[in-house]
Amino acid sequence: MPEVLTLGETMVSLRTRAAMRLGGEAHLSIAGSESNVAIGLSRLGHQAAWLGAVGNDEPGRLIHRTLRAEGVDTSYVRFSDTDFTGFIAFDQPAHDITRVSYHRRGSAGSTLTPDECVEAITSAAPKLLHLTGITPALSDTARAATLAAAEAATGVQVSLDVNYRARLWSRAEASACLKQLLPHVHTVFASDDELDLLTDATDPVAALLESGIKEVVVTAGGKGAWSHSPAGTLHQPALPVTVVDSIGAGDAFVSGYLSATLDNLTPDQRLIRATTSGAFCVGAYGDWESLPTREDLTLITHTHGTALR
């Protein structure tokens, strides 16, 4: 049985290392915040399952095959004969400046239903349910499905990564939906500029903790991350690495943090594993390809340029 269940949309991705309009070579892969987290957890030795819908097409098969190859439980994947698999394109017009184009409106991933989410949670009985603010932005049914999943997770630790996407919905829409999820959430992941989506309070972290959230983890890229809980606040600086591609770093951070949570590590150890996982991700291209295994975690402590012989 999976330790972690996550749900959302995974798309086929096409990535170029220059402006896409110039043509040239492109890399075909998959991308999706929730499946990135599932892959990260699987590589760190955990049983992770991904729930989502893909088209009964070659892009959908690529997603299914890739997740299976990475050890992610795909028992809860639905193939749709009537809807297509979503597509996302990344290009880089300048170093570490990434443009994103979505082709996902009406995709199979947006047809997620409350019934299949509740059934999966009941069947899987995971220790942890991981949600993001992306899934409820996809459609009315996906929004209802996300809320139904949170409500069904009785006795299950629920984490929420705000992951606001301005192209999918307005801040007002996001705020109204995410506030509905909060009563069911144990751990919140957010950047500084996302906290106001969760509360109108002048001190959002304090307000969230007073409302019953057990952990508020605030990420700040190169400045590191902060963990806030009733026991106090901790800060972990980002590791000094050369940034090649920052896409997927937040998902890597979350997978590291949740892995350490499942291992019952202390809050400072959770932050260390999270920032280490994030550092691996920014050091190479791709959403998930450079996510570390448990054995990899110590490699980044070696001096830059070290050859392990």
Report, as residue numbers or ranges, the catalytic residues. Answer: 251
Q: For residue 18, give every residue at least 6 positions away whose Cβ sits within 8 Å of its Cβ, in sequence order, or none.
A: 24, 91, 92, 93
Q: Return the structure tokens found at 27.
A: 């890399």
Amino acid found at 264: N
Q: Return the structure tokens found at 152.
A: 């069904």
Strands 87-94 and 11-15: parallel
Contact indicator for 52, 10 with CB cutoff of 8 Å: yes
Amino acid found at 300: I
Contact indicator for 17, 285 with CB cutoff of 8 Å: yes
Contact indicator for 14, 103 with CB cutoff of 8 Å: no
**Residues 219/302/243/164 CA torsion (nearest 10 deg):** -20
CA proximity to 229, closest of 213, 243, 218, 240: 213
Helix ranges (H only) for the chain are 33-43, 58-69, 114-124, 140-152, 171-181, 204-210, 249-262, 267-282
C-alpha distances (whole Å) from 100 to each of 104, 108, 161, 230, 242 are 12, 20, 20, 38, 22
